[in-house]
Amino acid sequence: MSKDLFDAAFAAMQKTHSPYSQFPVGAAIRTSDGRIFSGCNIEVVSYPEGWCAETTALSHFVMGGGGTITEIAVVAEKKAKCTPCGGCRQRLAEFAGPETRLHLCDNNGIVETLTMREIFPYGFDAEVLGKGAA
Ligand code: THU
């Protein structure tokens, strides 16, 4: 059922621009109305200016109209079950709920599924600012 999400993440990974790390990553996001948005990591010669596959996928999600995220898949060619970095966990949590499923993959498909709550407990949230997302 989530095979199409894995396929989208895997296809996105083929578009990676990662000449410095040589570590291709792909990510895909599904919304509750069935749309899929994907992305790859994009590196820059000034290293800190590069960004992750999850962030590219989130950009496509927002520009595509946003919505409710129900599932996320991440695949890295050279590492099975590559987990989103800390910054991407915070970015994903901006748009995903605690029950949103996060699929960790290898090159053949989904290996393990976690929830956002499991991968990002005690994250900083907007409650402390006295406001929800605009
Ligand atoms: N990377 C991602 O795209 N997503 C992750 O979840 C972990 C790391 C990228 C960033 C960088 O381009 C490369 O992997 C090596 O750190």
What local confidence, expressed as pLDDT, does residue 125 receive?
A: 82
**Ligand 1, atom 9: closest residue by C-alpha:** 52
Q: How far is the CA of 83 from the centre of ligand 1 (A)?
A: 9
pLDDT score at 131: 64
- Fold classification of 3-129 is Cytidine Deaminase; domain 2 (3.40.140)
For the cut 70, the answer to whether the pLDDT of residue 96 exceeds it is: yes
Phi and psi at residue 18, in whole multiples of 5°?
Answer: -135, 55
Residue nearest to atom 2 of ligand 1 (CA): 52
Sheet order of strands, 36-40 included: 36-40, 25-31, 69-76, 96-106, 109-115
Domain boundaries, the chain: 3-129
Please give the share of the chain, as a percent, with pLDDT higher than 90. Answer: 90
Q: According to the model, what pLDDT value does residue 127 have? A: 76
Torsion sign across C-alpha atoms 119, 57, 132, 71: negative
pLDDT value of position 1: 62
Q: Which residue(s) pair with 73 in the sheet?
A: 28, 103
Q: What is the tens place of the pLDDT at every residue in 3-36?
A: 999 999 999 999 999 999 999 999 999 999 999 9
The residue annotated as part of the active site, out of 49, 54, 112, 118, is: 54
Q: What is the pTM of this model?
A: 0.95
